[in-house]
Structure 1
Amino acid sequence: MGNRNWLAMVAALAAALLTTPTEASKLVVRNLCTATVWMEQLNVPNAPKVARIAAGRQRTYKIPDGRTVEATRWWPKTGCDENGENCKVGQSIGPCPDGGCAPPIDSKFEATWCVGGNCETFFNLSMVDGYTLPVSMRPKAPDNISAGCKPAACPSLSTRKNVCPTDEDLSTDGQFPALKGQDLRMRNPVSGKVTGCFSPCGKLTYAKAFGGHGFKPQDPEAAHYCCKGVADTPEVCGAGPVRHTSYAKLIDEACDRQVYGWAYDDANGTHTCTGDVTIVLTICPRG
C-alpha cells in the first residue's frame, strides 16, 4: 500500500472516530429472577422496544454522548410469547393479551440522561402506580460519593398477601367509608391470578376489570391519593392521607426510603449523578 493511500486511510478513520458519538453512560439490566424477563422501554435511542434477558443474564443499553435523553423508562415483563409480548405480567401497552392490557402498575426505572459534560443525570425507581417485581439500582459515576448519587433496593417486594396490603383504608379520612378495607392486589381478569400490587392511586383510578375503581385522578375519591385536583401540590398532598397508607409505609420500609411511593415523594425518590454514569438495574435482587 502506498504511503499516500495509507495516510488517507488514517485520516478517514480519524474523521469517523470524531463524528461517531461515544456511549459513555449506560444502563445495565441484570436478571436474577428464575425465569426469563423481557424489558420494555420508552424513549431510548437505538434500542429495541422489547428485549429478552434470560435468567442469570444481563443487557446493556448505551446512551449516546453529547446529548440529553429525556424521560426514558424501563420495566420488566414475564410470561411473554416468543416476541416478548402478550405477557402475563407487565403488559401495560399494546399489543394487548386476552382481557386487555394491564394497568401500568409496573416496577419502573426512569431517567433523564445528560451525557458528555459536567451535568446531572436524574433517575429513580417509581412505585407511584404500584409494582410487579422486586428491583434495585446502583449507580457508578465520578461523584459516586455525593448525597444524590446513591443506590436503592427493594428486594422484599412481593405480590403475596402478607406483603401487598389487603385491608387498605382509602376513605380519605372517613369521607368515603365504602373505600375502607381495600385489597390492593391486582388480578388478571382472565386467569384470576395476582399479577401486581396497586398503589392507592392506582387502585382508585385504574380499570375495574383488573380490580380498580375507575375514578379519575382529580375526582374527590382519588385526589388526595393521586395528588391531583384539590391536592395538586406537595404541601397539600403530603399533609393528606396518602403518606400514612399501609402502601406508602411498605414502600418506605421495603426500599429504605429511597424510592417513590407516591407522586410528590421527591425527598425519597429523586437521585442524581454528575458526569457520565453507569446504572445497574437488577430485577429480582437478592436481599
Structure 2
Amino acid sequence: MITVAHSLLVLAVASLSEGRTFQFQNKYGETIWVGSLGNPGHQSINGGGWEMAAGSTMTVNVDDSWQGRIWGRTGCKFDASGRGSCQTGDCGGVLKCNGAGGKPPSSLLEVTLRGSGGNDYYDVSLVDGYNIPITMTPTDASGGGDHYRCRPATCTANVNAKCPSELQVVANGAVVACKSACLAFNTDQYCCRGAYNTPQTCKSSTWPKNYPSFFKGLCPDAYSYAYDDKSSTFTCANTGYRITFG
C-alpha cells in the first residue's frame, strides 16, 4: 500500500530532479538590472530581466536542462511601462529582455545545464568585452579534483579601471565598460573569422596587439577570445548555483 508519506517523498524527489536553484546576489554597490537570454528552445529567466538594488538577493528556479546567458546591466532608466535604456548591457530598451541579448560590451555568464546526473558547463565570457564583475559558484557540490571541476567561474577584477583607451566605453566622464578587440576594431584576425576561423590560425599571441592577454591577466578564469576554451570552461553536476555581481 502506498502511504501519504511515501507519496510526498516521491513528489519531493520529482521536484528536485525537475529543476535547479539560481541564487542571485548584487554586491556591486549600486543598482543593477539583470539580463537573461535562453538558448533556442529555452525560456529566458524571469521574463529576461529584473532590477536588483545594491545588497539585494533573489532566488529563482530554472529547468534542469536550462541553457542560456546571464549578464548585468548598469546605468538604466525605465518608465512605468518598462521602456528606457541602459548605459551597458542594454537589450533593446526594455526592462524585460524577453528574447533579446545584451548589447556588448558586457560580462557574460554562459550556462548549459545537463539534467540529473549530467555534466553542467558554465563560464564567464569577456569575448565581447566587460562591464562589471561577475561570478558563478556551485552551491550544492563538494568540489572535485581540479581547478575547473565544481569551482567558481569568476571575473572579479575592476577591468574598467585599467582598460586601454582604445577599448574604453565612456559615459558621463567615467569608463563604464571595456570593449574586446573584435568589438573595437572588427577585423577578421581579432574576431577569429575568415582565414582566422580555427584554433591554429587564430592565436592572440600573433595579433598586432595581444589584447586577450590584458583581459586574461586580470581575469584568468574567463574567456578572453574565441579559442580560449581550455582555461575557461568549468563543469559540475547535480547542483544549484550562486550568481554574484560585484
Task: Give the structure-1-normalised TM-score.
Answer: 0.69
Give the total of aligned pairs: 231
Name the structure 2 match of 1:81: 77
1 or 2, which has the higher strand percentage?
2
Q: Is the 8 A contact 2:159 2:215 kept in 1?
A: no
- Aligned equivalents of 2:163 and 2:142: distance in 1? 36
Pairwise CA distance, 1:225 = 1.1
Residue 94, structure 1, aligned to residue 89, structure 2: no
- 2:177 corresponds in structure 1 to 196
Deviation, structure 1 residue 143:
5.8
When residues 244 and 269 of structure 1 are mapped into structure 2, their CA distance, relative to the original with a 3 A threshold, is farther
Residue 236, structure 1, aligned to residue 201, structure 2: yes
Please give the root-mean-square deviation of Cα atoms over the aligned residues, in Å.
3.2
How far residue 136 of structure 1 moved from its aligned partner, in angstroms, is 2.3
Tell me what 2:48 maps to: 49
Shift of 1:123: 0.5
State the structure with more CA Rg.
1
> Using a 3 Å threshold, how does the CA distance of structure 1 residues 135 and 14 change in structure 2: closer, same or farther?
closer
Aligned partner of 2:47: which letter?
P
**Higher mean C-alpha displacement, 224-233 vs 13-22:** 13-22
Pairwise mapping of residues 261-276 of structure 1 onto structure 2 (< 5 A)? 261-273=224-236, 275-276=237-238
For 1:229 and 1:40, how far apart are their aligned partners in 2? Answer: 31
| Selected match of 2:191 from 217, 226, 241 | 226
Alignment pair present for 1:281 and 2:246? no
Alpha-carbon distance change, 123 to 242 in structure 1, aligned in 2, over 3 angstroms: farther
The aligned amino acid for 1:254 is L
Q: Does 2:32 match 1:34? A: no
- Kindly provide the CA deviation profile for residues 150-190 of structure 1, in whole angstroms up to 9, marking residues without a partner as x: 22332222323xx0012xxxxxxxxxxxxxxxx110245xx
Cα contact 2:138–2:240 (8 A) shared by 1: yes
Code of the residue aligned with 1:229 in structure 2: it is G
Q: Deviations over 1:26-60 (max 9, x none)?
A: 32221112211110101164623111111111222
Aligned positions of 1:176-187 closer than 5 A: 183-187=166-170
Q: Secondary structure at the match of 2:85?
A: coil
What stretches of structure 1 of length at least 5 have no aligned partner? 1-6, 167-182, 206-221
Name the SS for the 2:113 alignment partner: strand
Distance 1:223 1:204 in 2: 9
Q: 2:52 is aligned with what amino acid?
A: I
> 1:192 Cα deviation (Å)?
6.7
8 A Cα contact 1:225 1:241, kept in partner: no
Match for residue 11 of structure 2? 17
